[in-house]
C-alpha cells in the first residue's frame, strides 16, 4: 500500500492497513483510512473545520454532551456556562475543546499526543484544566486516550466524536451492544430516567439500525475497559471498548452539508456516532463526574477494526 499523503496542517499516523489524519484544531480525527477507503466523515481541507458546528471528529469538552441550563452548582458556588444550544451548554460551549487549537506534544509513525491548557473561566468552567489526548494505531485498530488535571473542582467528560460511515448510511449498518438500559430524554434531549432496553433500542442480539433518528445514551453493564458496541458495514466491523459507563448512539439526524467532504457526504443519516462517555447532564443527575485537584481524569477508548474482506 502506498502511504496516503496528508494535507498541509494534518498529521499522519500509520500501522498496517490503517492510516489516520489528525489535526490540532479540536484534536480531531480528520479521517481514518482502511487502505485507501475512508471509514468516517471528514472535511477535505483542515481549514474547513473552522465552520463546522457538528463536532465532526472532534474531542469535545470540558464536558461533552449537554449541561441543562448551562449552569453548574457546587458548594454554594454557581457557574454560568456558555449556552450554545438554546439554554443548554453543548460539548463544552461555542468555543469548547473541539474548537480550540491543541499543541502537538509528540508525533511518530503510529501515534500522536496533543495537549490543551484551558484557563480558569474558559466558557464559564471553573479552574484551569490541562488536558492531553493520544491517538495510536496498532495492527488491530485505533487506541485513543484522554487525560486531564484541574486546579479547582470541575466536571469533566472528554469524548471522541467520530462519525462512522462503513460504506452505507446509518440505517443500513448493523449495531450490536450489550447495553441493558437506556435513558429516556425530554424535548431538549436531557436524560430523565433509566429504562430497560426494548424494541428499537435493544441491540443485544445485533440488528440493522433501520430508519430511526437515534440520539440516546445506552448504559453498558460492568466497569473498566469492556465491550460497548460493535458497528458493522460493507467496509469493516468496529468493536468499541471503553471504560466509560455509557455510549451515546447518534444516527446523524441533524447533520448538514457545509464544506467539501473527505469520504462520504455529510447528509442527514449518513453516519453513526458511538460516543463513549459519562452521562449527559451528569452533574445534575448526581453522577460522580467532578474531578478534584490532584485527581487525574482518564477516558480510554479502543476500537478494534476488522476489514470485511477478512472478517470471519
Q: What is the pLDDT along the chain (312 residues), one digit of tens a residue?
A: 456 899 999 999 999 999 999 999 999 999 999 999 999 999 999 999 999 989 999 999 999 999 999 999 999 999 999 999 999 999 999 999 999 999 999 999 999 999 999 999 999 999 999 999 999 999 899 999 999 999 999 999 999 999 999 999 999 999 999 999 999 999 999 999 999 999 999 999 999 999 889 999 999 999 999 999 999 999 999 999 999 999 999 999 999 877 689 999 999 999 999 999 999 999 999 999 999 999 999 999 999 999 998 754
The Cα–Cα gap between 41 and 178 comes to 26
Provide the pairing of β-strand 273-277 with 181-185.
Answer: unpaired
Kindly give, in sequence order, each residue whose CB lies less than 8 Å from that of residue 57, ignoring residues fewer than 6 positions away. 26, 28, 29, 30, 31, 40, 41, 42, 161, 162, 163
Q: DSSP character for 98?
A: G
Q: Is residue 6 part of a domain?
A: no
Q: In whole angstroms, what separates CA 144 from the centre of its chain?
A: 10
- pTM confidence score: 0.96
Taking residue 294's Cβ as centre, other Cβ atoms within 10 Å add up to 8
Q: What is the pLDDT of residue 311?
A: 53
pLDDT for res 139: 86
Cα–Cα distance for residue pair 58/42, rounded to 1 Å = 10
Q: By the 8 A CB rule, do 18 and 37 touch?
A: no
The domain of 201 spans 11-307
- Give domain status of residue 202, yes or no: yes
CATH of the domain at 231: 2.70.98.10
In a domain, 1, yes or no: no
Q: What's 40's DSSP letter?
A: B
DSSP state for residue 171 in the 8-state scheme: G
Determine the pLDDT at residue 227: 98
pLDDT of res. 1: 47
Distance (Å, whole) CA 133 – CA 104: 10
Number of domains present in the structure of the chain: 1
User: Cβ contacts of residue 45 below 8 Å, gap of 6+?
Assistant: 7, 259, 260
* 312 assigned to some structural domain: no
Domain-located, residue 3: no
- Counting Cα atoms < 13 Å in the Cβ hemisphere of 211 gives 0
Q: Is residue 84 a part of any domain in this protein?
A: yes
Report CA 233 to chain centroid distance, whole Å: 19
* Residue 258 falls inside a structural domain: yes
Kindly state whether residue 109 falls inside one of the protein's structural domains: yes
Amino acid at each position: 500500500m502506498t502511504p496516503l499523503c496528508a494535507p498541509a496542517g494534518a498529521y499522519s499516523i500509520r500501522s498496517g492497513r490503517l492510516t489516520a489524519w489528525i489535526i490540532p484544531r479540536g484534536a480531531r480525527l480528520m479521517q481514518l483510512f482502511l487502505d485507501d477507503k475512508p471509514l468516517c466523515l471528514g472535511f477535505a481541507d483542515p481549514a474547513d473545520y473552522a465552520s463546522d458546528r457538528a463536532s465532526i471528529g472532534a474531542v469535545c469538552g470540558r464536558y461533552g454532551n449537554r449541561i441543562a441550563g448551562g449552569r453548574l452548582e457546587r458548594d454554594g458556588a454557581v457557574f454560568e456556562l456558555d449556552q450554545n444550544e438554546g439554554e443548554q451548554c453543548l460539548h463544552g460551549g461555542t468555543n469548547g475543546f473541539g474548537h480550540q487549537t491543541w499543541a502537538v506534544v509528540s508525533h511518530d509513525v503510529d501515534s500522536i499526543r496533543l495537549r490543551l491548557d484551558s484557563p480558569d473561566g474558559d466558557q464559564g468552567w471553573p479552574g484551569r484544566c490541562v488536558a492531553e489526548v493520544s491517538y495510536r494505531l496498532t495492527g488491530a485498530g485505533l487506541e485513543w486516550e484522554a487525560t486531564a488535571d484541574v486546579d479547582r473542582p470541575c466536571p469533566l467528560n472528554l469524548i471522541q466524536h467520530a462519525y462512522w460511515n462503513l460504506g452505507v448510511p446509518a440505517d443500513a449498518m448493523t449495531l450490536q451492544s450489550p447495553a441493558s438500559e437506556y435513558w429516556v430524554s425530554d424535548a431538549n434531549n436531557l436524560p430523565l430516567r433509566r429504562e430497560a432496553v426494548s424494541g428499537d433500542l435493544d441491540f443485544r442480539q445485533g440488528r440493522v439500525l433501520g430508519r430511526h433518528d437515534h440520539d440516546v445514551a445506552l448504559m453498558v453493564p460492568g466497569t473498566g475497559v469492556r465491550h460497548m458496541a460493535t458497528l458493522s458495514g460493507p467496509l469493516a466491523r468496529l468493536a468499541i471498548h471503553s471504560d466509560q459507563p455509557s455510549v451515546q448512539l447518534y444516527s446523524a439526524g441533524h447533520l448538514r452539508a457545509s464544506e467539501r467532504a473527505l469520504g462520504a457526504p455529510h447528509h442527514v443519516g449518513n453516519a453513526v456516532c458511538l460516543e463513549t462517555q459519562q452521562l449527559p447532564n451528569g452533574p445534575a443527575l448526581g453522577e460522580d463526574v467532578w474531578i478534584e485537584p490532584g485527581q487525574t481524569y482518564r477516558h480510554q477508548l479502543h476500537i478494534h477494526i476488522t476489514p470485511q474482506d477478512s472478517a470471519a
